[in-house]
């Protein structure tokens, strides 16, 4: 590896470069601001400054590994993503679904956008994640984020299979996520739901009634018909998957979306996939860390805890993490801070290397 320069380490640790140079001198390794340090030296100097830095391998850095005893696993609700071609009715369908959830559960409750929503059907929960498009889904998957158990593929009955329908099928298959097909706009006079079924056969999405693996439901997001049927079908598909998680441990999961709110600071929607997240927990998400100051559900209500498959908005992070970042609760706040700092440091180095690289290429292309 290239190593970290004295200046970069000083910035990452928020100390003066002279402080580091002095310590390096005392350690018998005089270096200047722009010289780089070995991993061992970085750890030594950081230790000297009362900070623990451990240089981690990319594998260690990007994934947390967990082990659960099978006896600790309990059933958890399904997490669902709606995908499909533009204008086939993804947003309308999510609205119709949320309306159902609100109508049956929290009459009059105002749903606000947090990037995910939970609905109840027959006393069971389903969590919907609003991935802002296929690219986000692909990006998250590329980072190893497992954010969805079931994909609802929306296909307009008057339009049939289109390019982004095929793209969605490919994404779902590559991720090994089962597809439930919502044949939408069945209210339209020129709707042909059977033609949608026929067209999808070519892409390996075959209705159960034709001997295939996929459940199909005819719906109209506009007239709100078939919505309960769709939700029940999602639960049937979830039952097949036997989704489980250990709720009785420190929480981990993924960032669904995050932003900087003028009044509230960094705000992130997290999807818990293991353990239970509590107000007061300290977590790391990508390069951010912090203590959870408050948790809110999609109606803006304060909640005290979030269980596996729950999505909640959290306040209290020191910076804005990226969608798809994994989060994890730490017992010790210092460990959390150290990991977040290490990551920022590494990102800064990578950024600088990129800059150098680009400069070099530009130089050559101009020759």
Q: φ, ψ for residue 6 (rounded to 5)?
A: -55, -45
d(CA 33, CA 261): 36
* Selection from 296, 312, 252 nearest residue 276 by Cα: 252
218 near ligand GDP (CB under 6 A): no
CB of 311 to Mg ion, least distance (A): 19
88 near ligand GDP (CB under 6 A): yes
Residue 227 and residue 97 in contact, taking contact as beta carbons nearer than 8 Å: yes
Closest to ligand GDP by CB, 89 or 275? 89
Residues that bind Mg ion (CB under 5 A): 90-91
Closest to ligand GDP by CB, 23 or 185? 185
Task: Kindly state the tokens that stand for 263.
Answer: 């009044």
d(CA 341, CA 30): 25
CB of 280 to ligand GDP, least distance (A): 38
Closest to ligand GDP by CB, 9 or 221? 221
CB of 189 to ligand GDP, least distance (A): 9
For CA atoms 171, 177, 180, 182, the dihedral sign is negative
CB of 121 to Mg ion, least distance (A): 22
* Selection from 191, 229, 223, 217 nearest residue 95 by Cα: 223
Which residues, at least 6 apart from 36, have a Cβ–Cβ distance to it below 8 Å?
2, 3, 4, 5, 6
CB of 185 to ligand GDP, least distance (A): 4
224 near ligand GDP (CB under 6 A): no
Beta strands in 288-359 (DSSP E): 288-296, 305-306, 311-317, 326-330
Angle between the 39-48 and 6-13 helix axes, to the nearest 10 degrees? 40
CB of 195 to ligand GDP, least distance (A): 16
Q: First-to-last CA distance in the chain? A: 29
- Map the footprint of ligand GDP across residues 154-193, applying CB under 6 A: 184-185, 187-188
Using CA atoms of 111, 112, 116, 122 in order, give the dihedral in degrees to the nearest 10: -10
Closest to Mg ion by CB, 76 or 90? 90
CB of 94 to ligand GDP, least distance (A): 8
Question: If you count them, how many residues does the chain have?
Answer: 367
Residue 37 and residue 27 in contact, taking contact as beta carbons nearer than 8 Å: no
CB of 231 to ligand GDP, least distance (A): 16
Among residues 16, 38, 91, 353, the one that binds ligand GDP under rule CB under 6 A = 91
76 near ligand GDP (CB under 6 A): no
HSE-up (13 A, CA, CB side) for residue 278: 8
Closest to ligand GDP by CB, 152 or 283? 152
90 near ligand GDP (CB under 6 A): yes
Stretch touching ligand GDP by CB under 6 A, among 52-60, 87-95, 192-200, 339-347: 87-95
Binds 273: which of Mg ion, ligand GDP, none (CB < 5-8 Å by kind): none
Closest to ligand GDP by CB, 78 or 84? 84
- Measure CA 133 to chain center: 13
86 near ligand GDP (CB under 6 A): yes
Closest to ligand GDP by CB, 86 or 347? 86
CB of 156 to Mg ion, least distance (A): 12
Closest to ligand GDP by CB, 257 or 310? 257
Stretch touching ligand GDP by CB under 6 A, among 39-47, 107-115, 171-179, 215-223: 215-223
Neighbour tally for 178: CB within 10 Å: 16
Contact footprint for ligand GDP (CB under 6 A) = 84, 86-92, 184-185, 187-188, 220-222
């Amino acid at each position: 590896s290239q190593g970290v320069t004295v200046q970069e380490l000083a910035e990452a640790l928020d100390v003066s470069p002279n402080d580091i140079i002095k310590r390096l001198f005392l350690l018998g390794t005089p270096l200047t601001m722009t010289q780089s340090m070995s991993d061992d030296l970085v750890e030594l100097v950081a230790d000297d400054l009362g900070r623990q830095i451990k240089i981690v391998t990319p594998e260690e850095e990007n994934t947390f590994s967990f082990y659960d005893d099978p006896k600790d696993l309990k059933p958890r609700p399904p997490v669902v993503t709606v995908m499909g071609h533009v204008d086939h009715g993804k947003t309308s369908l999510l609205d119709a679904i949320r309306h159902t959830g609100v109508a049956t559960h929290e009459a009059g409750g105002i749903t606000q956008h947090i990037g995910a929503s939970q609905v109840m059907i027959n006393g069971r929960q389903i969590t919907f994640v609003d991935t802002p498009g296929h690219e986000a889904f692909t990006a998250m998957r590329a980072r190893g984020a497992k954010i969805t158990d079931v994909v609802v593929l929306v296909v307009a009955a008057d339009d049939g299979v289109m390019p982004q329908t095929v793209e969605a099928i490919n994404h779902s298959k590559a991720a090994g996520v089962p597809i439930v097909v919502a044949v939408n706009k069945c209210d339209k006079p020129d709707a042909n739901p059977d033609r949608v079924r026929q067209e999808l056969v070519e892409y390996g999405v075959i209705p159960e009634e034709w001997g295939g693996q996929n459940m199909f439901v005819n719906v109209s997001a506009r007239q709100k018909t078939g919505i309960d049927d769709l939700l029940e079908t999602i639960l049937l598909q979830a039952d097949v998957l036997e989704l489980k998680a250990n709720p009785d441990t420190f929480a981990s999961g993924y960032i669904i979306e995050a932003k900087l709110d003028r009044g509230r600071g960094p705000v992130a929607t997290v999807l818990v996939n293991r353990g239970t997240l509590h107000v007061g927990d300290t977590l790391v998400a990508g390069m951010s860390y912090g203590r959870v100051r408050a948790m809110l559900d999609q109606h803006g209500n304060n909640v005290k805890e979030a269980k596996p498959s729950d999505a909640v908005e959290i306040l209290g992070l020191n910076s804005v993490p990226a969608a798809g970042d994994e989060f994890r609760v730490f017992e010790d706040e210092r460990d959390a801070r150290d990991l977040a700092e290490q990551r920022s440091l590494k990102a800064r180095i990578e950024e600088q290397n990129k800059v150098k690289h680009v400069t070099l290429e530009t130089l050559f292309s101009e020759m």
